[in-house]
Amino acid sequence: MSKPDVVNWKEAGELVNRIEDPATRRIISRAVMIARLRFYETSRTNDFDLQFFTEVLSELFRNPDVIRQELDGKRPGAWSENPTEYGI
């Protein structure tokens, strides 16, 4: 049986490179790098799909105005502070 690995990392890099907003691209690039490093620093039993992770981050951070509003303490949209509402 093969050792768990980070999969789809090239595709993740391609997704990051297609992000137009420079600040968003840097944030997501940093998050992807940290996720990959953390994966290798810890013992894992399953592969980690970096492309999926990057797609989720890209969706989350696609609107820089929403990020700015969140950082300013505002609540753009109808986000719930209860993650169980999202099945988490």
28-50 per-position pLDDT tens digit: 898 898 888 888 888 788 899 99
Long-range CB pairs of 5-11, under 8 A, 24+ apart, other chains included: 5/47, 5/48, 6/36, 6/39, 6/40, 6/47, 6/48, 6/50, 7/47, 7/48, 7/49, 7/50, 7/51, 8/49, 8/50, 8/51, 8/52, 9/36, 9/50, 9/51, 11/50, 11/51, 11/54
This prediction has a pTM of: 0.68
65-78 per-position pLDDT tens digit: 877 887 787 776 65
